[in-house]
Structure 1
Amino acid sequence: MSDTRLTSDRWPIAAAMLPFPASQDAPADTWVDHLAQVAYEGFTEVDLTDSWIQPGDLSPARIEELREALATVGLDPIALSAIRRSVIDPETGDENLAYSHRTIDAAAALGTKIVSVGLHRPLLPAQREVLWFWTEEGPADSTDPETWALAVSRLRELGEHAASVGVELSLEMYEDTLLGTAESAVRLVKDIDHPSVGLNPDLGNLIRLHRPIEDFQAAVAACLPVSNYWHVKSYFRDEDRSTGSYVALPAPMEMGMVSYRTAIRTAVDAGFTGPFCVEHYGGDGLSVSARNARYIRRMLAVATGEAREQVLRNVAAAR
């Protein structure tokens, strides 16, 4: 095996900062406390999810404080996810485009390799009032040619900016957006047609919906060849289409309704080499994320053939 091969133990797996409270104006020591908890769970990479901190809105001095906090706990800020800042939002698209540009510059200053953006918008009041926001309908993108062209133009603009500062752009899948199905998401990436722009096939956003969903493994096979980053999570799911009853609850990846054992093998076979980011809603999200990271490393060992080689070596050595 080549020393340069991306093996299961070297593969970057980041923790999302979703479990932590908004901390934009918190002192740097609070940042260190939060990040130290991530490192204590065994992570060496982190996704600076902007529900926690918005690096694009930090002053240069505070960017440096964040750099120092990350170095203090030994975490690599491999990705920065800017969420609910759609550049085609009918009301705030221009503002979100400017924010995305600032975020890319902040990512470069922090040494971040990937900025993930999406086309999903802020939660509606009904979504904020229920236990699980995905059980209520959210905003939906128009599918007219003008909206599609605007998305292609603005996301390509962000991709060009990202490339100029040594960062990749990844587009997060989310329901009822132009990135809401495998077919539409892949087509959007291909229409943008920029080497620094890839897909973030966050299919967990889709399998939790209380409605019929597309086949998960088919979507993985379609999306992973054009993907450069991957938010992963899973859900328990039950459905009774005869009554229109659908239920989805967060679950550890190894226990949920889809097989990531199969999906990760598909990804590796398709040539995917991007980082993973583990997410989980509810309860102790960080502990479940750490469990998911360990599971991913096992599945990567299976997908890369390392598990098979180890078993055969162990048996041969015992003879």
Structure 2
Amino acid sequence: MASPQDWVTQDWDPTTWTDETWPIAACLHGFAQVTREGTAFHDAPAEVWDDVFAQIAAAGFSLAELADSHIRPADLERSRRDELFAIAAAHGIGIPSVHLQRKSVIQPGHEEDNLAYAHRTIDAAAEWGMQVFSTGLHQPFTEAQRKALWFWTAPGPKDPDDPEVWDAAVKRLRELGEHAASVGLPMALELYEDTYLGTADSAVRLVEEIGLDTVGLNADVANLIRLHRPVEDWRELFAKTLPYTNYLHVKNYTRDEAGDGSWATSAPSTMETGLINYRQVLRDAVADGFRGIVMTEQYGGDSLGVCATNQQYIRSVLATSVVGATKQGATR
């Protein structure tokens, strides 16, 4: 059955990607989840969606990740889905991935509902012609996080040190991974603090215990280095997780900390100016075989504008990587 966006995916062959064609997507963080009139973005009129995709296209993007914070594919009526894709296509925008967030399959009291919602989202993603299903184990914000200037500076939910809960996470995520694989989708699990995906070793162990080749990591290391507390070295985080990475959220933060670990602070930055050296990360990832979508993120300020700057930076790095060398007929 043809998907609503076959026009986007017909040439989806990673072996042919170059620095100019590598799929780099924009996030929707810069757009309000509720319109000025009080309507949820999910239910917004066509002109609201049209304005958003027009801005994404004007910023130089041809792809956008659909986070369920803005639109829930599993809950969108077919007529509205078709309207969404028609609007996106009119601006030359494809939607290659969905990111399901804050619906952990081990969230106390919501395990079964969240699991069922994830299954419905996978079916929708496949029907919509997407290429990746991304999720994680992060839970809804606490009241303290909602009140904080930056949510990562306030305490959030924590996955328990409980073998039974760990085993439940493995079982349910394996179930989702099998479902996703059955409809042709890889599943990516996002690194996130205080979850079973909150350290490199724990994230790798989780993927290995799930035991499916189609389930990997979304190695969003920046989620961890922004914390105002001692953190793992970003080099070690990437070294351990990139071999398992099949989808990649990228953003960066400046970071300063005391030598004795007594304090730390961070703030959003461009990819080029933050703590993580993404020139090294991207070159190493591509050289070691990573062939996945890169999704640009940013919190605060002109999110879309920073993402556009980051896309230019990413392509400049790829131009001198293995991809660029291959395009020019050279060998590494």
Q: Which whole-Å CA distance do the structure 2 matches of 1:161 and 1:58 have between them?
A: 20
Which is worse superposed, 80-89 or 22-31?
22-31
Match status 1:88 vs 2:106: yes
Where does residue 294 of structure 2 map in the other structure? 276
Cα shift readout 1:44-76 (whole Å, capped 9, x = no counterpart): 111001111111111222222222222221111
CA spacing shift, 1:153–1:283, aligned 2, 3 Å: same
Shift of 1:4: 4.4
Deviation at 1:109, TM superposition (A): 2.0
Q: Quote the offset at 1:29 in angstroms.
A: 2.4
Alignment pair present for 1:40 and 2:51: no
1:264 aligns with 2:271: no
Which residue of 2 is the match for residue 133 of structure 1?
151
Q: In the alignment, which residue of structure 2 is the partner of 1:18?
A: 29
Cα distance in 2, alignment partners of residues 25 and 78 from structure 1: 21
Moved over 4 A (4+): 307-310
Q: Secondary structure at the match of 1:150?
A: helix
1:231-288: CA deviations, max 9, x gaps?
Answer: 0000011111447121100000000012001111221122110010000000100000
C-alpha displacement at 1:134, in angstroms? 0.6
> Which SS does the other structure have where 1:126 is aligned?
helix
Distance in 1 (CA, whole Å) between partners of 2:263 and 2:188 is 34
Query: Partner residue of 1:8?
Result: 19
Cα distance in 2 for partners of 1:140, 1:305 equals: 40
> By how many angstroms is 1:138 displaced?
0.7
Q: Which residue of 1 aligns with 2:226?
A: 208
Matched, 1:186 2:197: no
The alignment partner of 1:77 has SS state of coil
Percentage of identical aligned residues: 50
Alpha-carbon contact 1:173-1:200 (below 8 Å) kept: yes
Q: 1:178 Cα deviation (Å)?
A: 0.3
The AA in structure 1 aligned to 2:139 is: R
Determine the C-alpha separation between the residues in 2 that align with 1:60 and 1:208.
39
Structure 1: runs of 5+ lacking an equivalent: 313-319
- Residue 103 of structure 1 is matched in structure 2 by 121
Q: RMSD value over aligned CA atoms? A: 1.9
Amino acid in structure 2 at the alignment position of 1:220: F
Q: Which residue of 1 aligns with 2:80?
A: 62
Which of 133-142 and 237-246 deviates more?
237-246
Q: Is the 8 A contact 1:55 1:103 kept in 2?
A: yes
Distance 1:308 1:58 in 2: 41
Amino acid at match of 2:258: D
Q: What residue ranges of structure 2 are gaps of 5+ in the alignment?
A: 1-13, 34-40
TM-score, normalised by the number of residues in structure 1: 0.93
